[in-house]
Amino acid sequence: MPQNQAAFCDNQGCVRSENGLIHVWNLKTHRVDTALDGHGRKSVYCVETMGGKERLLSQGRDQRICLWDLAEGRTSVTDSVFTEHVGFCRCSLLKVAQGRWLMAMAARSLEEVQILELPSKTSVCTLKPEVGAKLGMPMCLKLWQLSCGSQPVLLAGYEDGSVVLWNVSMGKVLSQLICHQEPVMSLDFDSEKAKGISGSSEKVLSIWSLNEQQNLQVYKTHELVNAGISDITIRPDKKILATAGWDHRIRIFGWKKLKPLAVLDYHTATVHCVSFSDHSKPQERLLAAGSKDQRISVWSIYAQT
């Protein structure tokens, strides 16, 4: 059984999934606080917090997305969504108002993306590419909005290497850009600079920008030493980004010019995911990376000055 891991940090804990169990780690004691079992021991490949550490969303290979309530030591699944999707595309979550989220997820039919509203689970729309577009399956999703209250927009990376910008409310393609020759493995977008980055199984990182006409343009590409990127995350302060590489390494770049800053060499197998914590003190923010070697590494990136 492949060990699929997702990791992220919040102020206190770090969550990691393994063997279908979600472990909530206490970063003070470095021990597991709770282990959550909600996906029938099928591997879990996506874990997200929903505002604070009390609510949690997880997506597993049992084709379900579970919502967890962890407040006051509870460990119960409050709700679940059956996706019917068989791929590895992680869902994307966007908070639109207090207690209301939009969630984008790959749907049952191969090319479709479905947008749900949480917690009501009502379907907002289904994004279906034009007939004959041959985009393939969605590989990665990123829901975002320019500012609170404005139109939510979805960026989706597809199997054929293209990144598509969807207008969620109209269900229309705004722009399409072919960034890679291979499937897009991961993407992240900085709405402030209107710039995004995507990685695939190739040796290249592609940076693209969104102009005022809502058109995606290739801004720059960055050549890598080893091929294969499984995850890309821009730090919430938009200064640096981290990539999880198939070459077992985590790479840190400056976001502005994509200047390589560090190569973190620890894992002995493919790194699956990278995630930044959003601690209030910048010095205490951490980077977590999960890897196939069954380890999660937690890094302190900020220099202590």
Sole window of 6-14, 24-32, 124-132, 188-196 interacting with other proteins (rule: CB under 8 A)? 24-32
The separation between the first and the last C-alpha atoms of the chain, rounded to the nearest angstrom, is 44
In the bound state with other proteins, the residue whose beta carbon lies nearer, of 125 and 298, is 298
C-beta closer to other proteins: residue 175 or 291: 291
Cβ atoms of 205 and 188 within 8 Å: the answer is no
CA atoms within 13 A on the CB side of 293: 15
For residue 143, give both structure tokens.
């829901």
What's the min distance (Å) between Cβ of 135 and other proteins? 42
Task: Burial-class residue 194 by CB neighbours within 10 Å (0-12, 13-18, 19+).
Answer: middle
**Nearest distance from residue 293's CB to other proteins, in Å?**
9
| Smaller CB separation from other proteins, 7 or 184 | 7
Beta strands in 257-302 (DSSP E): 260-265, 271-276, 287-291, 296-299
Cβ nearer to other proteins, comparing 88 with 266: 266
Q: How far apart are CA 229 and CA 154, in angstroms?
A: 21
The one-letter amino acid at 102: L
Nearer to other proteins, 180 or 267 (CB): 267
- Measured from the CB atom, the residue of 7 and 67 that comes closer to other proteins is 7
Q: Tell me how far, at minimum, the Cβ of 30 lies from other proteins, in Å.
A: 6
How far is 274 from 166, CA to CA, in rounded Å? Answer: 25
The rounded distance, in Å, linking the Cα atoms of 30 and 77 is 25
Work out the angle at residue 49's Cα, subtended by the Cα atoms of residues 45 and 52, and round it to the nearest 5 degrees: 165
Site for other proteins in 254-273 (CB under 8 A): 265-266
Query: How many residues contact other proteins, by CB under 8 A?
Result: 6
Among 28, 72, 147, 212, binds other proteins (CB under 8 A): 28
Phi, psi torsion values for 283, nearest 5 degrees = -65, -25
Q: Which is nearer to other proteins, 191 or 297 (CB)?
A: 297
> Quick one: which of 30, 73, 147, 149 contacts other proteins (CB under 8 A)?
30
Which of the ranges 28-36, 81-89, 107-115, 163-171 carries the binding residues for other proteins, by CB under 8 A? Answer: 28-36
219 binds other proteins (CB under 8 A): no
| Closest separation in Å from C-beta 294 to other proteins | 9
Quote the DSSP letter at residue 52: S
Distance CA 24, CA 47 (A): 11
Q: Which residues pair with 168 in a beta bridge?
A: none
Among 29, 147, 213, 280, binds other proteins (CB under 8 A): 29
For other proteins, the binding residue among 31, 97, 132, 213 (CB under 8 A) is 31
The residues that touch other proteins, with contacts defined as CB under 8 A, are: 28-31, 265-266
